[in-house]
């Protein structure tokens, strides 16, 4: 009789977005004519950039011609053309990342979930609260205990190192999902120092870096000196270039990131990750890698940045409405998320239902991201201008009455 991974039974019953989907389904079944505006799950709405589509089309055609057909990649770590392109992208905002330490994947969610495989049990895992549920869930599945660093209204929802805790693993996300807060260089400096003092490893989720417009804010943890000795960075093209349905991301494990094994020997963390991926992953679809490469061309950058500017305009619209209505919020600048305080001290699932029932606007209850998220609510800027404007009109009617 097979023994099961009983850690799965410790997981909360439903994955946040599945829970939301169920409530929406129930509502629309009861109200088939309702015009829902979805600002919940962080999915994008704008199409891929023309240069990206062209690259994918051309690569798909190459796959149909014997001379240009591609089978397995040698390493499964990503073609050099894409790893070089990602490295060049980092250079564009001042970070020096060797293409050889960049591994291409099918997305940040997979890498965030799978990276835990290379670590042992008994680690003290620090996760900011609230946070993207995958950090906690993947640790629960592995039987790890999670300790929380609090992101609260008081600290601008930017948790700082819990100095009384000796962390082994640390998850950070900046710009933050769900709170939209962005760490300054000084704040990241504190986290890197804290990690180095404890010999801890930071897993830095940079999925929203493309939304940073303030040149003083760090778009990579590797802009902080010493970070290569303590940090893994995971990023994605989902929000950078609308790849939520195209699927491509990358994870960086610097050669400088070394930890001791139980015998006191040095182990390069990159060797473990390469071995994990070498045995349990077989590379990303060639046409997808060509599409991703196109994102980093000058034309691709111009086109994808125009789309990001489009979403940023939505964020400004939401922020402006909150300002007018006196609703407290963080984010909205340098981030696609607006994290707002539920009016009248409603808990966040109650506020979710209230918005769904009263104005058919779907957001994400903050409680789904952790205890500190209760009473707070996430709206995304990834909708269209038209629907964002319409949602804000409905907000004004609802909260002015």
CB of 115 to a second copy, least distance (A): 10
Of 237 and 317, nearer to a second copy (C-beta) is 237
| Minimum distance from residue 333 beta carbon to a second copy (Å) | 24
Q: Return the SS3 of 243.
A: coil
CA distance 318 to 388: 8
Find the shortest distance in angstroms from Cβ 109 to a second copy.
4
Both tokens of residue 185?
């260089």
- Are 143 and 162 in contact by the 8 Å Cβ rule? The answer is no
- Toward a second copy, which CB reaches closer, 77 or 322? 77
Q: Report the residue number, 43 or 347, with the smaller CB distance to a second copy.
A: 43
Tell me whether residue 218 or residue 242 sits nearer to a second copy (CB atom): 242
Nearer to a second copy, 17 or 399 (CB): 17
- Supply 307's token pair: 């789309």
CA distance 159 to 65: 53
Q: What are phi and psi of 75, to 5 degrees?
A: -100, -25
Pairing of strands 231-236, 249-252: antiparallel
How many residues are there in the chain? 401
166: left (phi over 0), alpha (psi -120 to 50) or beta: beta
Tell me if the bond preceding 290 is cis, omega within 30° of 0.
no
Give whichever of 276 and 394 is closer to a second copy, judged by the CB atom: 276
Min dist CB 273 to a second copy, Å, is 10
Q: How far is the CB of 164 from a second copy (least distance, A)?
A: 17
Buried b (16+ CB within 10 A) or exposed e, 336-374: bbbbbbbeeebebbbbbebbbeebbbbbbbbbbbbebbb
How far is the C-alpha of 355 from the C-alpha of 278, rounded, in Å? 46
- Min CB(65)–a second copy separation in Å: 6
């Amino acid at each position: 009789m097979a023994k099961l991974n009983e850690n799965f039974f410790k997981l909360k019953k439903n994955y946040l977005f599945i829970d939301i989907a169920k409530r929406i389904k129930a509502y629309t079944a009861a109200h088939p004519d309702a015009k829902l505006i979805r600002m919940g799950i962080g999915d994008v709405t704008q199409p891929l950039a023309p240069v990206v589509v062209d690259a994918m089309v051309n690569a798909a055609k190459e796959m149909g011609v014997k001379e240009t057909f591609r089978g397995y990649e040698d390493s499964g770590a990503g073609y050099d053309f894409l790893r070089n392109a990602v490295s060049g992208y980092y250079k564009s905002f001042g970070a020096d990342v060797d293409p050889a330490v960049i591994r291409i994947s099918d997305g940040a969610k997979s890498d965030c979930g799978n990276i835990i495989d290379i670590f042992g049990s008994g680690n003290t895992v620090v996760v900011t609260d609230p946070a993207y549920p995958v950090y906690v869930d993947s640790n629960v599945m592995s039987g790890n205990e999670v300790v929380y660093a609090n992101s609260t209204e008081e600290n601008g929802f930017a948790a700082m190192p819990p100095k009384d805790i000796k962390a082994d693993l640390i998850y950070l996300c900046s710009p933050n999902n769900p709170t939209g807060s962005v760490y300054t260089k000084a704040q990241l400096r504190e986290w890197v120092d804290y990690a180095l003092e404890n010999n801890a490893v930071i897993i830095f989720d940079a999925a929203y870096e493309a939304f940073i417009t303030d040149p003083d804010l760090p778009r990579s943890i590797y802009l902080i000196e010493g970070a290569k000795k303590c940090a893994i960075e995971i990023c994605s093209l989902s929000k950078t270039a609308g790849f939520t349905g195209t699927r491509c991301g990358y994870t960086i494990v610097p050669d400088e990131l070394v930890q001791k094994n139980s015998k006191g020997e040095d182990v390069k963390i990159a060797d473990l990750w390469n071995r994990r991926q070498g045995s349990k992953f077989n590379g990303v679809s060639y046409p997808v890698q060509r599409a991703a490469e196109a994102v980093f061309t000058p034309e691709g950058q111009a086109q994808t940045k125009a789309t990001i500017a489009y979403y940023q305009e939505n964020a400004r619209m939401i922020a402006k409405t909150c300002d007018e209505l006196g609703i407290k919020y963080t984010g909205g600048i340098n981030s696609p998320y607006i994290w707002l305080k539920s009016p009248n001290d409603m808990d966040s699932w109650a506020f979710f239902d209230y918005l769904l029932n009263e104005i058919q606007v779907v957001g994400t209850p903050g409680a789904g991201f952790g205890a500190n998220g209760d009473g707070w609510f996430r709206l995304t800027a990834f909708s269209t201008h038209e629907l964002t404007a319409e949602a804000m009109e409905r907000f004004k009617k609802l909260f002015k009455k």
